[in-house]
Structure 1
Amino acid sequence: MPSSQKIIVIGAGIIGASIAWHLARRGASVTVIAKKPGGEATPNSFAWINASWGNPEFYFRFRSHAMTEWKRLAEELPGLPLNWCGGLCWDLPPDQLEAYASEHGGWGYGVRRVAQEESAVIEPGITELPDLALHIAEEGAVEPVAAARLMLADAFRYGTTFLQAVEVERLLIENGRIVGIETSNGRLSADHVILAAGAGTSGLAASVGVDVPLETPPGLIVHSRPYTPLLNGLVIAPELHMRQTAEGRIIAGSDFGGSDPGDEPQKVADTLFAKVKAMLRDADGLELDFFTVGYRPTPKDGFPIIGPSDAVAGLYLTVMHSGITLAPLVGQLAADEVLGERRDSLLAPFRLSRFSAA
């Protein structure tokens, strides 16, 4: 049944698009406001879907759940540019690689140890492979801007409004509750405002006195011109993470978050791309097309911030660096919470209130 509540989603990257789509499918009255479809951080993402190393078990479980939700989303949204290509990883010292395999394998992740000969079968285009790597067949990638645009287009079909190239200046509250936003085009009223604005989240939340502890480190990723297939899946090698997109571009960073661009980003990009070519067979004709520098919205403890503000009723926060992996799950849970005005226990570790309790 359609909701009479007016909901504004600020941001049209992968998170904002997912939230808007899940709300629209539930019959909600939604307005999306952003500079452009696809957002700011999303186009600069490596777009790896995973529940990989470096996470405690509670976050691993959450990310694994999100991976399953990508499969659900693909069934509900035909044409989603999603590829379960698998990943070959050796970006850890041998003892840490083994510890990761044992830990995550024990949690149910499909980690498989592969010797050099099998790695060469999995990725024959790589020039130098280690004696031992890990292969995770269930990992994948998505073309993030195309996915966000597809979700937005379907949300529009359900009646969602999109205001493009509109700047949100501040949030508006009365008696401790959100009543709307002030934009460069004037005031818009709302019962709920969902912040999916990435690096812009802290400033907007601060306009109503809500502190969102956020860091925005830059990440440089190189993008080749489209080329013949050189990679079968994700390659997570020491100081070089790369994959080949659906249109044939090799994209790479010194890790999945991108390289530090420093003061000379073009020089960093050229050096990084030289490493890409050196690692790939038959890549003599591979050319650098462009590089991007994205600012990764990362809460200070590294984990997502998802949920309603305790200080301002009607304000809902969604900010995280793992936006690509988490998008379909966050979209569904955020829609459930906003429309049902209830709190989901699955999101308990990710509330903003954890910072004030620390």
Structure 2
Amino acid sequence: MKSSVNVAVIGGGIIGASTAFYLSQLGSRVTIFEKDQLASGASGHSFAWINSFNKFPKPYHDFNHDSMERWSRFERLLNQDVGLKWGGNVTFATDELSGTGLAQDINRLQKWGYPSRLITKRELLELEPSLEISKFHLAAYTWSEGHVMTDKVIHACMNSIVENGGKVILNSRVDSVSQDSSGASVVVEGKSYAFDMVVVAGGVNTSQLSETYGLKLPQRVSPGVVVKTNPINQILRSLSVLQIVNGTGQIDQIHVRQDAHGVVMIGTGSQEHETSDDSQKHADNLVKEAARYIPGLQGATAIRVPVGFRPMPIDELPVIGFTSETPNIYVLLMHSGVTLAPLVGELASMEIVENIEVECLARYRPTRF
């Protein structure tokens, strides 16, 4: 039986969008409130790497791995091109110290059942013949990983929601959320709107919104910077992501991917690396460093992207669910939103519509703080 629950979703990032999409698929009447334009927050800044490479502890790794397996079905349900590219990731280390750490990572990942293995320089060049590699210690191949274009995913979700009779209200900042005897309400520019349920998925603003109904969700500030290029010819033949770890270099770690439109995105450090340097000089240096290994980047124009801020719970684990005091307000706050979007969106919608508790979400409840 289809649901007739009237639900407000606050936040048009990838977690809010995926949850609203699955709610709509279950028959809920969905209204989305987004304070800016779609994909303008953390989702728009994301490197959008679908992986579970450095996710701890193991249950959280497994949670991400499960969601990776759901991405292809999510794409089919959306029935639109979302720039999803599989092909895996290779991380290669240029020095012994970095290589030792990488080998330890692969040993752990293999024991956890994650598709991964060490490969040689020759095997890497078979995957990507155009690479220029002067120094090489070892490489790790994690072939089940991919990346996606978050703006395309979000717009595909919204298109489907509107087709199902839902509403998407942009440039509408929600001031507060409240629980009452008949459901929950949101206040937007002084006007109150009543719903059966409210989903708070406002990214870094989630903690501020949750305080309006008495829930404290501590976050830490987590800035991140990526650099883009102008559209260029294909630079990676097989892989979706290439990561270079150079423990002796000026930039010790970079990761590179290219979207379906030819735009290359480059980040420094690991995917979770925190930095606030969004200068043009940093952008130029990052493209120059990546071009040492990827000749196709030579001559590309570096485009600086203003620093973005990740939603980051204080313990770095997702926050998902209701509380006993607010049974009509469901909160979603997490990093790794791109990887987790299909799983969290589907499970959260089930909990909201079916009034059940999904067991694998128990460790992520907001009541732990």
Q: Which of the residues 280, 285, 290 maps onto 2:294?
A: 280
Q: Which of the residues 153, 174, 197 maps onto 1:147?
A: 153
Q: Which residue of 2 aligns with 1:250?
A: 264
RMSD, aligned CA: 1.8
Q: Which residue of 2 aligns with 1:103?
A: 108
Unaligned residue ranges in structure 1 (runs of 5+): none
Post-superposition shift, 1:75?
2.5
Aligned equivalents of 1:157 and 1:258: distance in 2? 39
Q: TM (normalized to structure 2)?
A: 0.91
Q: Which residue of 1 aligns with 2:50?
A: 49
Residue 21, structure 1, aligned to residue 21, structure 2: yes
Residue-by-residue CA offset, 1:179-201 (whole Å, 9 max, x unaligned): 20110262111121101110010
Aligned equivalents of 1:324 and 1:21: distance in 2? 15
Note if contact 2:179-2:329 (Cα within 8 Å) is conserved in structure 1. no
Q: Which residue of 2 aligns with 1:339?
A: 353
Q: Which residue of 1 aligns with 2:202?
A: 197
Rate the CA distance shift 1:186–1:111 in 2: closer, same or farther, 3 A: same
Post-superposition shift, 1:39?
4.4
Q: Which residue of 1 aligns with 2:166?
A: 160
Amino acid across the alignment from 1:164: L
Post-superposition shift, 1:3?
2.8
Post-superposition shift, 1:115?
0.5
Q: Which residue of 2 aligns with 1:85?
A: 87
Post-superposition shift, 1:300?
0.9
Note if contact 1:47-1:144 (Cα within 8 Å) is conserved in structure 2. yes
Q: Which residue of 2 aligns with 1:134?
A: 140
Amino acid across the alignment from 2:227: V
Kindly report structure 1 stretches of 4+ aligned residues shifted beyond 4 Å: none
Residue-by-residue CA offset, 1:84-130 (whole Å, 9 max, x unaligned): 12100136822322222122112221102110111112223332262
Aligned equivalents of 1:321 and 1:300: distance in 2? 11
Q: Which of the residues 116, 124, 143 maps onto 1:119?
A: 124
Aligned equivalents of 2:302 and 2:258: distance in 1? 13
Q: TM (normalized to structure 1)?
A: 0.93
Q: Which residue of 2 aligns with 1:33?
A: 33
Residue 354, structure 1, aligned to residue 368, structure 2: yes
Rate the CA distance shift 1:228–1:42 in 2: closer, same or farther, 3 A: same
Aligned equivalents of 2:324 and 2:183: distance in 1? 12
Post-superposition shift, 1:222?
0.2
Residue 231, structure 1, aligned to residue 232, structure 2: no
Aligned equivalents of 1:224 and 1:351: distance in 2? 39
Amino acid across the alignment from 2:168: F
Deviates more, 1:84-93 or 1:50-59: 84-93
Q: Which residue of 2 aligns with 1:3?
A: 3
Residue 69, structure 1, aligned to residue 83, structure 2: no
Note if contact 1:240-1:276 (Cα within 8 Å) is conserved in structure 2. yes
Note if contact 2:280-2:304 (Cα within 8 Å) is conserved in structure 1. no
Q: Which of the residues 341, 366, 369 maps onto 1:327?
A: 341
Rate the CA distance shift 1:68–1:298 in 2: closer, same or farther, 3 A: same
Note if contact 1:46-1:257 (Cα within 8 Å) is conserved in structure 2. no
Note if contact 1:46-1:258 (Cα within 8 Å) is conserved in structure 2. no
Post-superposition shift, 1:29?
1.0
SS in 1 for 2:67: helix
Note if contact 1:225-1:249 (Cα within 8 Å) is conserved in structure 2. yes
Q: Which residue of 1 aligns with 2:248?
A: none
Aligned equivalents of 1:26 and 1:144: distance in 2? 23
Aligned equivalents of 1:212 and 1:7: distance in 2? 22
Note if contact 1:45-1:257 (Cα within 8 Å) is conserved in structure 2. no
Kindly tell me the number of residue pairs found equivalent between the two proteins: 353
Amino acid across the alignment from 2:187: E
Note if contact 1:180-1:190 (Cα within 8 Å) is conserved in structure 2. yes
Aligned equivalents of 1:41 and 1:95: distance in 2? 33
Post-superposition shift, 1:138?
0.7
Aligned equivalents of 2:254 and 2:26: distance in 1? 42
Aligned equivalents of 1:299 and 1:123: distance in 2? 37
Note if contact 1:171-1:178 (Cα within 8 Å) is conserved in structure 2. no
Aligned equivalents of 1:203 and 1:108: distance in 2? 38
Note if contact 2:184-2:197 (Cα within 8 Å) is conserved in structure 1. yes
Aligned equivalents of 2:193 and 2:74: distance in 1? 31
Q: Which of the residues 183, 187, 210 maps onto 1:182?
A: 187
SS in 1 for 2:140: strand
Aligned equivalents of 1:6 and 1:49: distance in 2? 31
Residue-by-residue CA offset, 1:49-80 (whole Å, 9 max, x unaligned): 01113422111111111011102112222233
Note if contact 1:223-1:290 (Cα within 8 Å) is conserved in structure 2. yes
Aligned equivalents of 2:301 and 2:284: distance in 1? 10
